[in-house]
Structure 1
């Protein structure tokens, strides 16, 4: 029974280790030549890193094999697992389309190729046997020039049947040197009616209050309640939701102990700020969304009531969920005992 919404999952980090290993065995053995067996690869792929930069390097491993030809292979397996093992009813996949285009092409040619990537991801994401509502968030990137990032926004506008918003990826500590540029890009996106989220306040190096007014949701945002709780009132007033990805902060060295998140949840609930619990990179972590829920409960970071509030918030803040209620509410109406009058009419 599909019940949950996932608002923050990267396409590059969504491939579980076993699926990636099998692909490499069949098509790119050179990429796993240094691993004697699968267990060594899994340990390498999922182990914690010391910094966010080191962690993000793993994305390049997957991006190199996620091409227009192979994306359907990876997305089919992603959605199959999301439906069967995670009970997802809604999934937003985020990625940088430019980084899935052939590197040997010129920049203008790669920009033109991005539309094909978006279409392939969109069509591959609609599987009748795994009926999940899906949409894409296109990520600008700190390594890409202004003209490419602006083209990504234009692409989102032109492909609303597949795309529900934009983001910026590549490490939040790199925003400062181009901060005016990021502000202008987000302002441009909002002027075109594009939904916005962004990796912000994930680490202590990524705290830029200047960008907050341009975001509808905040990717991670945990440093706001941890270091700048005075900002929470404005976050609540703007109706912004934090996309909190618990396992990520242990994998990137951002937090030493998951129990540090208790302050994040407590401060946000007290201030009336919504939180959507997400996985970020389910493949890199080898962790699925229900485990994130269970982990937060096990460590007494949240209560069952708070968990349900976060699950409902995820649907409220979903950019492309087409219904007014989450699926649990819709199902409860379907499963109500029928009235005696209806039963008598059937007899």
Structure 2
């Protein structure tokens, strides 16, 4: 029964350790030659890192093998797991298409190749046996030049059947030196009618209030309620939703204890700011979305009523969910119709 929406999942970090290990065994043994057995690889792949930069280095391991030829292999297994084990009805996959193009090509050739990547991901994401509504968020990157990031926005605008928004990722500490560029790029995206989110206020290095007016959702954003709660009324006024990914903050060293998130949820609920609970990098974390829900409940960070509010918020803020209602409401309507039909027959 598909019930949930996932708004923040990276394609590079979505591959679970076992699937990645099997791929390397068959096609790239040199990448796992230093591991004598799978358990060593899993420990390396999923263990916490000290900083966000160290954590993001793991993405390069997966990006190097996510090519035009291999993306259908990884996406099929991702969607199969998301449907069967996570009960997802809706999934937004985010990634930087430029980083899936061949490195030996020139910058302009790689830009031209990005459209093929988007099409391959889009077609591979539509599987009749696993009917999840999917869409892509294309990530600009803090290490890529302006020309490439602008081309990513153009690509999003030209492929609305596959792409629902743009993002900026790659390490939030690097935004400051190019802030005028990011504002210009987000202005450009909004002028084209492209929806926006962005990795900001994830760490203490990523607090950029000047970017907030250009975002429709906020990637992570936990430092707003933790350090800058005075910004919450404006976030609520703009109807911006925080994409909170609980396990991430332990894996990156951003938080030392999951219970620190209680203040995030309490202050956001009090201010009327919506939160969508997400996984970020389900493969790197070796977790699935229901596990994130269970963890928050187990540590009394939220209660069941608040969990339901977050689940409803995820559908309400989904960029490409095609229905007015979320699946539970649709299912309840279907069950009510069947019940009425049954009672009519009995009468």
TM (normalized to structure 2)? 0.98
Matched ranges for 1:329-344 at <5 A: 329-336=329-336, 337-339=338-340, 343-344=344-345
Residue matched to 2:244: 244
Residue matched to 2:323: 323
Give the gaps of 5 or more residues in structure 2: none
Any idea what the Cα deviations from partners look like across 1:306-327, whole Å, max 9, x if unmatched? 0000000000000000000100
Any idea what the Cα deviations from partners look like across 1:313-347, whole Å, max 9, x if unmatched? 00000000000010000000111253369734x99
Residue matched to 1:276: 276
Q: Provide the C-alpha distance between the structure 1 equivalents of 2:160 and 2:344, rounded to a whole number of angstroms.
A: 44
Q: Provide the C-alpha distance between the structure 1 equivalents of 2:268 and 2:302, rounded to a whole number of angstroms.
A: 12
Any idea what the Cα deviations from partners look like across 1:99-155, whole Å, max 9, x if unmatched? 000000000000000000000000000000000000000000011000000000000
Residue matched to 2:97: 97
**What is the SS of the residue equivalent to 1:168?**
strand
**What is the SS of the residue equivalent to 1:14?**
coil
What is the root-mean-square deviation of aligned Cα atoms in Å?
1.1
Residue matched to 2:116: 116
Residue matched to 1:180: 180
Q: Provide the C-alpha distance between the structure 2 equivalents of 1:93 and 1:126, rounded to a whole number of angstroms.
A: 13
Residue matched to 1:167: 167
Residue matched to 1:132: 132
Matched ranges for 1:221-232 at <5 A: 221-232=221-232
Residue matched to 1:212: 212
**What is the SS of the residue equivalent to 2:339?**
coil
Residue matched to 1:143: 143
Matched ranges for 1:40-119 at <5 A: 40-119=40-119
For these two proteins, the number of residue pairs brought into alignment is 346
Q: Provide the C-alpha distance between the structure 2 equivalents of 1:340 and 1:241, rounded to a whole number of angstroms.
A: 40
Offset of 1:178 from its aligned partner? 0.2
Q: Provide the C-alpha distance between the structure 2 equivalents of 1:96 and 1:205, rounded to a whole number of angstroms.
A: 22
Q: Provide the C-alpha distance between the structure 1 equivalents of 2:329 and 2:28, rounded to a whole number of angstroms.
A: 45
Residue matched to 2:254: 254
Offset of 1:49 from its aligned partner? 0.1
**What is the SS of the residue equivalent to 1:335?**
helix
Q: Provide the C-alpha distance between the structure 1 equivalents of 2:59 and 2:35, rounded to a whole number of angstroms.
A: 18
Give the gaps of 5 or more residues in structure 1: none
**What is the SS of the residue equivalent to 1:291?**
helix
Offset of 1:265 from its aligned partner? 0.1
Matched ranges for 1:31-46 at <5 A: 31-46=31-46
Any idea what the Cα deviations from partners look like across 1:224-254, whole Å, max 9, x if unmatched? 0000000000000000000000000000000
Q: Provide the C-alpha distance between the structure 1 equivalents of 2:73 and 2:127, rounded to a whole number of angstroms.
A: 12
Q: Provide the C-alpha distance between the structure 2 equivalents of 1:64 and 1:56, rounded to a whole number of angstroms.
A: 13
Offset of 1:42 from its aligned partner? 0.0
**What is the SS of the residue equivalent to 1:259?**
helix
**What is the SS of the residue equivalent to 1:105?**
coil
Residue matched to 1:298: 298
Moved over 2 A (4+): 337-344
**What is the SS of the residue equivalent to 1:225?**
helix
TM (normalized to structure 1)? 0.98
Q: Provide the C-alpha distance between the structure 1 equivalents of 2:121 and 2:205, rounded to a whole number of angstroms.
A: 32
Q: Provide the C-alpha distance between the structure 2 equivalents of 1:139 and 1:278, rounded to a whole number of angstroms.
A: 17
Q: Provide the C-alpha distance between the structure 2 equivalents of 1:196 and 1:143, rounded to a whole number of angstroms.
A: 19
Residue matched to 1:158: 158
